[in-house]
């Protein structure tokens, strides 16, 4: 859920001014990755600017990350503020490369190590006191509906778009019914909320930082667990997925009970894929056909009610 696309003059102007105030040359800055924010990197600094004025995510994230332990690796915040309605945050640049960008060059052992270390750092996030962090996390994640009615409306839209059959929508509805029945009483923790390779920094053969906490949310740990499970069990090339299954199974086995069990994990998985598929349908010419196909395949499989692509993991853990 990241890209490096065109940026309007507002964020560029803000980035240039912020870097200039801190002695950095905007002209030599490199564009970084970003979905909701625009990012520029200099030798020692990184500035992120909201793509649209009025967003409150970056300053809220700045307050949240002040609560994170050093083990998460989040970069030191140098400065933050609002300029012309655009929120911005300036951090020290941590040596490393975006894990998604280096992933194709990593061998299987390095990939297994990366997934395990991503989760180790995420566990330090989960141990932050939820009540203290809650005011600085999102009140709700945009990836998950607030109500059964909202979830049903999303499924209905996918049926109307021809992405699901009515029978498949009903099957997914049953998965979400079990999710809602299992949810009460499940412990809530601080989740990264978008735990994935693009939000991970890799350096000298190891994960050194988790980045971009704007989607952090207090919820069952299944929110983050689902993202890791997808790395090994979602549709994809077997030579890429299969070597990760042992480490991901070990991770899932260590937290699935605290996460609310299979029904909660599958509920978050279904809701995320519904959101992703709707986002791709709205992307027009910018649609990621591979991503669209993967989400559609996962939803089709989940609709069968047997765990879908996650069934091999869940069968192993029973």
* Per-residue pLDDT reduced to its tens digit, 85-103: 999 999 999 999 999 999 9
Dihedral sign, CA of 174, 175, 177, 178?
positive
232 pLDDT more than 90: yes
Rounded to whole angstroms, the Cα distance separating 270 from 262 reads 12
The size of the chain, in residues, is 318
35 pLDDT more than 90: no
State mean pLDDT over 267-274: 98
Non-local (6+) Cβ contacts of 180 within 8 A are 148, 267
From 1-10, 63-72, 292-301, the region with the lowest mean pLDDT:
1-10
In sequence order, what E strands does 174-282 have? 189-191, 200-203, 206-210, 217-219
* Per-residue pLDDT reduced to its tens digit, 40-70: 999 999 999 999 998 889 999 999 999 999 9
Pairing of strands 45-50, 37-41: antiparallel
1 pLDDT more than 50: no
What are the structure tokens assigned to 117, written together? 């270390």
State mean pLDDT over 289-300: 96
| Fold match, 9-92 / 97-317 | no
Q: What is the pLDDT of residue 240?
A: 94
Cβ atoms 168, 282 nearer than 8 A: no
* Per-residue pLDDT reduced to its tens digit, 185-205: 999 999 999 999 999 999 999
Least Cα distance to 3 among 283, 225, 264, 270 occurs for 283
- The structure's pTM equals 0.94
H/E run at residue 256: none
Q: How far is CA 25 from CA 10, 14, 91, 150, 162, in A?
A: 18, 13, 15, 47, 50
Q: What is the pLDDT of residue 7?
A: 73
Q: What is the chain's mean pLDDT, rounded?
A: 95
Pairing of strands 97-98, 77-83: unpaired
Q: What is the pLDDT of residue 34?
A: 73
What are the structure tokens assigned to 194, written together? 């978008």
**CATH number of 97-317, picked from 3.40.630.10, 3.30.2020.30, 3.90.1200.10, 3.90.76.10:** 3.90.1200.10
What are the structure tokens assigned to 234, written together? 């979602």
What's 9-92's CATH class? alpha beta
Q: What is the pLDDT of residue 176?
A: 98
Cβ atoms 252, 317 nearer than 8 A: yes
Q: What is the pLDDT of residue 33?
A: 78
Rounded to whole angstroms, the Cα distance separating 183 from 265 reads 10
> Mutual orientation of helices 222-233 and 108-126 as an angle, nearest 10°?
170
From 34-38, 193-197, 225-229, the region with the lowest mean pLDDT:
34-38
4 pLDDT more than 90: no
Q: What is the pLDDT of residue 6?
A: 67
Dihedral sign, CA of 217, 222, 226, 232?
positive
State mean pLDDT over 61-83: 97
3 pLDDT more than 80: no
pLDDT band at 2 (very low <50, low <70, confident <90, very high): very low
Domain ranges of the chain: 9-92, 97-317
Least Cα distance to 48 among 70, 21, 74, 81 occurs for 81
State mean pLDDT over 200-216: 97
The number of beta carbons lying within 10 Å of the beta carbon of residue 14 is 23
DSSP assignment letter at 79: E
13 pLDDT more than 90: yes
């Amino acid at each position: 859920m990241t890209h490096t696309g065109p940026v309007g003059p507002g964020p560029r102007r803000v980035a240039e001014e912020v870097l200039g105030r801190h002695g950095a040359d905007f002209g030599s800055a490199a564009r970084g990755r970003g979905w909701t924010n625009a990012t520029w990197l200099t030798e020692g600094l990184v500035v992120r600017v909201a793509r649209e004025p009025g967003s409150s995510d970056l300053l809220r994230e700045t307050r949240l990350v002040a609560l994170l332990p050093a083990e998460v690796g989040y970069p030191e915040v140098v400065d933050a503020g609002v300029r012309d309605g655009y929120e911005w945050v300036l951090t020290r640049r941590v040596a490393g490369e975006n894990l998604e960008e280096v992933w194709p060059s990593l061998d299987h052992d390095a990939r297994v190590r990366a997934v395990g270390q991503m989760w180790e750092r995420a566990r330090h996030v989960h141990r932050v006191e939820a009540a203290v962090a809650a005011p600085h996390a999102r009140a709700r994640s945009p990836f998950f509906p607030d109500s059964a009615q909202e979830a049903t409306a999303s499924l209905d839209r996918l049926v109307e778009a021809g992405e699901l059959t009515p029978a498949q929508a009903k099957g997914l509805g049953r998965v979400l019914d079990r999710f809602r029945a299992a949810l009460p009483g499940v412990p809530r923790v601080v989740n990264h909320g978008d735990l994935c390779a693009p939000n991970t920094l890799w350096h000298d053969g190891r994960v050194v930082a988790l980045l971009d906490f704007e989607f952090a949310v207090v919820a069952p740990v299944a929110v983050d667990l689902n993202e890791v499970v997808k790395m090994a069990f979602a549709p994809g090339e077997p030579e890429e997925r299969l070597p990760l299954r042992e480490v991901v199974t070990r991770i899932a086995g260590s937290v699935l009970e605290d996460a609310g069990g299979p029904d909660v994990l599958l509920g978050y998985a279904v809701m995320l894929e519904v959101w992703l598929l709707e986002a791709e349908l709205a992307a027009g010419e910018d649609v990621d056909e591979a991503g669209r196909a993967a989400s559609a395949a996962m939803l089709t499989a989940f609709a069968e009610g047997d765990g879908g692509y996650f069934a091999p993991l869940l069968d192993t853990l029973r």
